[in-house]
Structure 1
Amino acid sequence: MDIRSVDLNLLVLFDTMARLRSVNKAAEALALSQSATSGALARLRAVFDDQLFVRTASQMEPTPRALELAPVVHRVVQTIQSEILQQSAFDPARAERSFTILTPDIGEVAFLPGVLRRLREEAPHVRLHAVSRPRAAAADALEQGEAELAVGFFPDLQRAGYFQQALFMSTYTCIACARHTAAGSRMTLKQYLSARHIVVRPDGREHLLDRFLDDKGWQRHVTLELSHFMSLVVLLPGSDLIATVPQDIATVVGRHVAIKEIALPFRPPQLQLQQYWHRRMQNDPANRWLRGLFYDVNRREAGAQMPG
């Protein structure tokens, strides 16, 4: 017998007949007409080349072949219902698995602390793996299942096939060592452009501020270019360098070393921080839980500071 020629719905009918021993009761249980049920029973008999259920004075009695098949068919039907057709669930308290998150180092310091606190309480055996990818590789990583979520500023993911959810809006600020004598609380545009800058471009990527300044035709005096924002904790103190960074980075750096913020001589662009996932993960219970957790922890109103 070729399984491709078998209508698996017939197994459901067999299982129901084996339990109820009645065409009428089976039809009612399966929400079928009596004629449709009788027709399906005829096809079932043809498949197994056996009468399977024979009418007696009181009910439809199973043949020896039906008695042999009954427990096996019941297991098959139960497996399909409970393990294949039942929507999968995710229990964070009992889950033991790892999730990969795409985020730059700014995301690691801004997004993960609060998430880790929640994981300790709600999902103690869940592990996170934070990785950074070049802009062009982020979409492929989500599409191919190498990462479950991308969190941060990923304008290249604003395309068909990807879902996005806004977390908060941020902006840029200028920071310097607290003992920087040449930099006051404000700078003119000329002073800003001629100052010695540290520029951070994670993964070597051009960032929103770079495009903003280029569009204005403004060229900074870049003394040092870095790949990691947290290197500022070591490089700013005792130097005459300044750095224009997202507000969250200024907050984090200020928690480790003494810095001062300098008002920019222009209105900087706004950063829309979001989380992204591929459409194939839209209905996945584990992914739904993960992005719900990131949203609950990191969602902020406009102008709100990063939590401590």
Structure 2
Amino acid sequence: MDIRSLDLNLLVIFDAMARLRSVNKAAEAVGLSQPATSGALARLRSVFDDPLFVRSGSRMEPTPRALELAPAVRRVVQTIAGEILQPSGFDPATADRSFTILTPDIGEVAFLPGVLRRIRTQAPNVRLHAVSRPRAAAASALESGDAELAVGFFPDLHKANFYQQALFKTSYSCIASAANAGAGSRMTLKQYLAARHIVVRPDGREHLLDRFLDDKGWHRHVTLELSHFMSLVSILPGTDLIATVPEDIATVVGRHVALKRIELPFKAPQLQVQQYWHRRMQNDAANKWLRSLFYEVNRRDAGAGMPG
């Protein structure tokens, strides 16, 4: 017999008949009319070339062939109902798995601590793997399943096949070492452009501020270019360098070294920090839980700063 010739719905009828030994009771159990159930039984008899169930008094007794088939059919029906047709589920309390998150180094510092505290109580066997990827590689990592979520500023993911959810907006802050005597609380545009700058471009990517200044025709005097924001912790102190960084980075760096904030001589653009996932993960229960967790922990109201 070719399995393609068998309507698997007929196995549900067979299983009900094998258990209930009655066309009427089987019809009620599967939600069909009595004529429809009788028609299905007729098709079953044709498929298996056997009467299968024969009336004996008030019951429909199984033939030897039906008795032989009944255990296997029962297993198939239970497997389809209990495993294949069950909605996808995810129980964080019992889950034992790892999730890969795309985020820059500042994301590890800003986004992960609160998430990890929540995971410790809600999902003790869930593990996170935070990685940084060049801008061009983020999309392919989400598409291939190498990463489940990207969290941060990823303008290249504003395209088809990707979902996005806003977490908060932030702007830029100009920082210098507290010991930098040449840096006051504010400076003119001319002073700002002439100052010695540290520029951080994670994975070599151009940042929103770079494009903003280029569009204005303003060019900074860049003394040092870095790939990691957290390097500012060891480089800024004891120098006359300044850095213009997202507010969260200024907050984190300020927790480790003494800083002074310098008012920017222009209105800086705002960064929209979001989380992104590929469309194939939209209905995945585990991914839903993960992005819900990141949203609950890291979402901020307008104007709110980074939590302590």
* Shorter-chain TM band: over 0.9
> Equivalent residue of 2:111, what SS?
helix
Letter in 1 for 2:149: L
Q: Which runs of 5+ in 2 are unaligned?
A: none
Partner in structure 2 of residue 97 of structure 1: 97
Partner in structure 1 of residue 156 of structure 2: 156
The C-alpha deviation readout for 1:46-103, integer Å capped at 9, x for no partner, is 1111111001211111111111211111111001111111012111111111000011
Partner in structure 1 of residue 74 of structure 2: 74
The C-alpha deviation readout for 1:167-211, integer Å capped at 9, x for no partner, is 000000000000111110001000000000000000100010000
> Equivalent residue of 1:164, what SS?
strand
> Equivalent residue of 1:276, what SS?
strand
d(CA) in 2 for partners of 1:248, 1:121: 26
d(CA) in 2 for partners of 1:106, 1:84: 42
The C-alpha deviation readout for 1:249-288, integer Å capped at 9, x for no partner, is 0000000000111000000000000001111111111000
Q: Does 1:286 align with 2:286?
A: yes
Structure 2 length as normaliser, TM-score? 0.98
Partner in structure 1 of residue 5 of structure 2: 5
Q: Does 1:295 align with 2:295?
A: yes
d(CA) in 2 for partners of 1:148, 1:234: 32
Partner in structure 2 of residue 145 of structure 1: 145
Partner in structure 2 of residue 183 of structure 1: 183
d(CA) in 2 for partners of 1:213, 1:89: 48
The C-alpha deviation readout for 1:133-157, integer Å capped at 9, x for no partner, is 1111111111110100000001111
Letter in 2 for 1:288: K
d(CA) in 2 for partners of 1:30, 1:90: 29
Displacement of 1:212 in angstroms is: 0.2
Displacement of 1:28 in angstroms is: 2.0
Letter in 2 for 1:239: T
Letter in 2 for 1:158: H
Aligned positions of 1:103-114 closer than 5 A: 103-114=103-114
Letter in 1 for 2:7: D
d(CA) in 2 for partners of 1:135, 1:109: 19
Letter in 2 for 1:154: F
Letter in 2 for 1:34: Q
Partner in structure 2 of residue 23 of structure 1: 23
Q: Does 1:124 align with 2:130?
A: no
Letter in 2 for 1:2: D
> Equivalent residue of 1:72, what SS?
helix
Aligned positions of 1:216-231 closer than 5 A: 216-231=216-231
Aligned positions of 1:245-260 closer than 5 A: 245-260=245-260
Aligned residues: 308
Partner in structure 1 of residue 52 of structure 2: 52
> Equivalent residue of 1:99, what SS?
strand
Partner in structure 1 of residue 262 of structure 2: 262
Displacement of 1:35 in angstroms is: 2.0
Mean Cα displacement is larger for which, 182-191 or 40-49? 40-49
Partner in structure 2 of residue 167 of structure 1: 167
d(CA) in 2 for partners of 1:161, 1:28: 44
Displacement of 1:226 in angstroms is: 0.3
Displacement of 1:14 in angstroms is: 0.4
Letter in 1 for 2:8: L
Q: Does 1:136 align with 2:120?
A: no
The C-alpha deviation readout for 1:198-254, integer Å capped at 9, x for no partner, is 000001000100000000000000000000000000000000000000000000000
Structure 1 length as normaliser, TM-score? 0.98
d(CA) in 1 for partners of 2:185, 2:103: 32
Matched-pair identity in %: 81
> Equivalent residue of 1:256, what SS?
coil
Which of structure 1's runs of 4+ aligned residues deviate more than 2 A? none
